[in-house]
Structure 1
Amino acid sequence: MKSKRLGALFLAACFACAPLASAEVKTYEGTGEYVMSDFETPDIAKQRAKARAEQSCVEQAGVYVKSYTHTVNSVVEKDEVEAIANTIINITDVKYIVTPISETGGSFRIVATIKATIDSGRIDMWVARDHAKNIELVEQNKRLQEEKSKQDLEIIELRKKLTTVNNEQEKKQLELGVVNTDRKFLATQKIEEGQRFIYAGRYVDALESFSQAISLDEINVLAYRNRADAYYKLGDYKLALADYDKAIALDPKDAGTYCLRGYFYGMQKKIHYAISDFEKSIELNPKLVIAYCGRGIAYGENGDYDKALSDFNKAIELDGTYELAYNNRAKTYTKLGKYKQAIADFTKAIELSHKENMMIFYSRGDAYFKQGDYERAIGDFNKVLAINPKYMRGYASRGYAHTLKGNYQQAVNDFSKYLEYNSRDAIIYNTRGFCYQMLGNIKQANNDFAKAKSLGIKG
């Protein structure tokens, strides 16, 4: 799958969505078996059996995820299906059956049985979220699964060697290797647990899971990257930055971590640092689409619109389905007064969006307004207010469009609605006064002009 939407862009709000009321809940049961050897602990063996049972449930849930996303016209590839299922699955019950393999004891067969649920509302959340957030989970899930496969092979190889070794010192070395592999395995489990908490908006629980992963495996890059995200969501920016720095120190060739830290710096308005990290990310991976998009936004923040456009063009060249690149290129065109190009890009972003994005409609309405196409501007502001009737800025903007179109009564209605929210906006009072004047309501017009003057309008 194209690596195009890695982290939350610093112009986008981060929020958790609740499942839809009509969500369908599916229940699955999975079993996993693990044979514990003489040199393993029962707790580790249970966790390994449980991990296999979880994988069974994830695979079953993946079939449903693929079918469900198809019904809501969202195209997801294999890696994303696996990531969705693994991230949103909810383990509700775990049971273990432990039986000795021989009468002499030592080795045991452990069978874990788990029950898990998957909620279609959580799939809707995934589809509706900014895909920049989702692709990070997809990439991490791939890395975690690869790491688990590697750990399984390592433990099998260590167990084979332990059955044949006679040298006591070599045996101790192999047993130490088992312990280290077990710790890495448990860390991986904690990272997956933490990601599920993050997705559910349980950031304190996520922080605890990632911290436990780090205590088990102090050089785990993904644990630090994820804990940084948890710290950020909890508002502890100093510790978030420290974890990003640690992840980069552990793996200075990981383009993704530089990109994530770049977004973090962007959110903190440290634009110079953000640009530097995006440049390093691009140097390490010239095809990392969202690094170009992130750097483009940073350039735009600095007012360097030509460089911003160049980066958005590159992002779209690499991935013509990247909604956020079109949206941000459109915003840049708007700032440059190129409204025709801006409208085309906003329209493309709307087509690509998996949800009705209120702000894209608002931005396109603003471009239509500035172009002088007040009818289409009103159409987009209507759409904005249909999505969110409490978005007061939408009433003000639609009021201005109605004013310039000569729809004075509609303008008065919109300005009045806006003034319920902000009763100290002198410009709105002044403009509503003009509309009243055009409607022949001189008394109301004079009241508004007087109110505007008292709030600072010079007339």
Structure 2
Amino acid sequence: MRVPLSLMALLAALASTAPLPAAAEGGPVWDACVGLTSTPEERVKACSTVIETRSESGHRLAGAYCNRGHGLTEKRELDAALSDLDEAVRLAPDYACPFNNRGRVYSFKRDFDHAIADYDQAIKLDPSLALAYSNRGESRYNKGDLDGAFADFDAAIKRDPNYATAYTNRALVYYRRHDMAHALADYTTRIKLAPSLLAYIDRGNVYRDSEQLDRAAADYGEAIRIAPTDARGWRNRGMIRLYQGDDKGGLADYDKALQYDPSDVFSWNNRGQAKLRLGDKQGAIADFRKALELKPGLPVAREALQRLGAL
């Protein structure tokens, strides 16, 4: 039986606001505009008030545009974000924040050359900005430049050894290079710094591909503990249980996975395989048919139905 492997998590090079130059303290609106804990909606609203009232000028006004651009990027209003970041660059061409955040907009637009050019400028203006290195590494990775991406993620970590996302990104490059030992080390550091659902799934995937199935199952179990209503932990652990011949355990995990994500075609197919192994032919047929309904022509489901004389 071929059980499809889950995909490695995408790079998570998150943009955030860069520090503003020292200036007089602002009020609650200003604090919400530049605060790292503000939601995108709160940031956009507060920065809009700053901009519309012209309560700030110079670099602080540029900071309001930069931060509103960040909030709009998080809301995926990319054209509006680009307009704000262009204005921030015009107001303060010596300020790294808008170049870094504009680079991220270009990255979302898959214009990686413009993104890299903006990250280059952000780094030139602020060589200590670990975030800009990590973001530039993401764009280089997406262009297929693994060596350049690795150098940037490494540089980000050297500038900020507690920058968890950079470890995730560097680990993915190690994984692509089939250097599993270093990938595991980076994912382990990421988990120590900022444990999360995806951190455990990522490390579990490396354990899985290194044929350390018990450790993979343990990491997927931690993902389930952290986010019990997220299907990803359940379906990844279910796959390991099927690999190990624990069909009842695999079936139970896929039941949970489908409870939380009934649109996942491979969970239907893999649960069908578990049911078939356990002697539930009709249940297996129903699951394979559901997999085909979601993904017509899926070879493994079609072949299973043909073997069962149900197609």
Q: Give me the TM-score of the superposition, normalised by structure 2.
A: 0.79
Give the conservation status (yes or no) of the 8 Å contact 1:228–1:243: yes
Aligned CA distance change for structure 1 residues 426 and 357 (closer, same or farther; 3 Å):
closer
Alignment equivalent of 1:147, drawn from 23, 33, 39: 23
Question: Hey, what does 2:114 align to over in structure 1?
Answer: 273
Give the conservation status (yes or no) of the 8 Å contact 1:198–1:206: no
Large movers: runs of 4+ above 6 Å? none
Q: Which whole-Å deviations, capped at 9, do the CAs of 1:32-66 have from their partners, x for residues lacking one?
A: xxxxxxxxxxxxxxxxxxxxxxxxxxxxxxxxxxx
Q: What does residue range 61-210 of structure 1 map to in structure 2 within 5 Å?
A: 133=16, 136=18, 139-140=19-20, 143=21, 146-148=22-24, 189=27, 191-192=30-31, 194-195=33-34, 199=38, 201-203=41-43, 205-210=45-50
Aligned CA distance change for structure 1 residues 440 and 223 (closer, same or farther; 3 Å):
closer
Asked if 1:11 is matched to 2:12, the reply is: yes
Aligned CA distance change for structure 1 residues 204 and 251 (closer, same or farther; 3 Å):
closer
Q: What does residue range 424-443 of structure 1 map to in structure 2 within 5 Å?
A: 425-443=264-282
Q: Of Structure 1 and Structure 2, which has the larger fraction of its residues in strand?
A: 1
Question: Hey, what does 2:51 align to over in structure 1?
Answer: 211
Q: Give me the TM-score of the superposition, normalised by structure 1.
A: 0.56
Counterpart residue identity of residue 401, structure 1: I
Counterpart residue identity of residue 229, structure 1: H
The whole-number CA distance in structure 1 between the counterparts of 2:62 and 2:212 is 51
Give the conservation status (yes or no) of the 8 Å contact 1:10–1:267: no
Gap regions ≥5 residues in structure 1: 1-8, 14-131, 149-184
SS at match of 1:406: coil
Q: Which whole-Å deviations, capped at 9, do the CAs of 1:376-420 have from their partners, x for residues lacking one?
A: 111111111111111112221111111111111110111222233
Displacement of 1:442: 4.0
Question: Hey, what does 1:57 align to over in structure 2?
Answer: none
Displacement of 1:293: 0.8
Counterpart residue identity of residue 376, structure 1: R
The whole-number CA distance in structure 1 between the counterparts of 2:99 and 2:84 is 12
Displacement of 1:268: 3.3
Give the conservation status (yes or no) of the 8 Å contact 1:232–1:240: yes
SS at match of 2:302: coil
Alignment equivalent of 2:97, drawn from 235, 256, 261: 256
Counterpart residue identity of residue 243, structure 1: D
Aligned residues with identical type, % of pairs = 29
Farther off after superposition, 193-202 or 329-338: 193-202
The whole-number CA distance in structure 2 between the counterparts of 1:453 and 1:236 is 35
Q: Which whole-Å deviations, capped at 9, do the CAs of 1:261-312 have from their partners, x for residues lacking one?
A: 2123223333221111111222333332221111111111222212111111
Q: Which whole-Å deviations, capped at 9, do the CAs of 1:67-122 have from their partners, x for residues lacking one?
A: xxxxxxxxxxxxxxxxxxxxxxxxxxxxxxxxxxxxxxxxxxxxxxxxxxxxxxxx
Alignment equivalent of 1:364, drawn from 200, 203, 212: 203
Aligned CA distance change for structure 1 residues 433 and 273 (closer, same or farther; 3 Å):
same
Displacement of 1:226: 2.5
Aligned CA distance change for structure 1 residues 284 and 423 (closer, same or farther; 3 Å):
closer
Counterpart residue identity of residue 283, structure 2: Q
Displacement of 1:199: 1.7
CA RMSD of aligned residues (A): 3.0
SS at match of 2:23: helix
Counterpart residue identity of residue 286, structure 1: P
Q: Which whole-Å deviations, capped at 9, do the CAs of 1:319-358 have from their partners, x for residues lacking one?
A: 32221111111122223332222111000111122xx311
Asked if 1:306 is matched to 2:307, the reply is: no
Counterpart residue identity of residue 258, structure 2: L
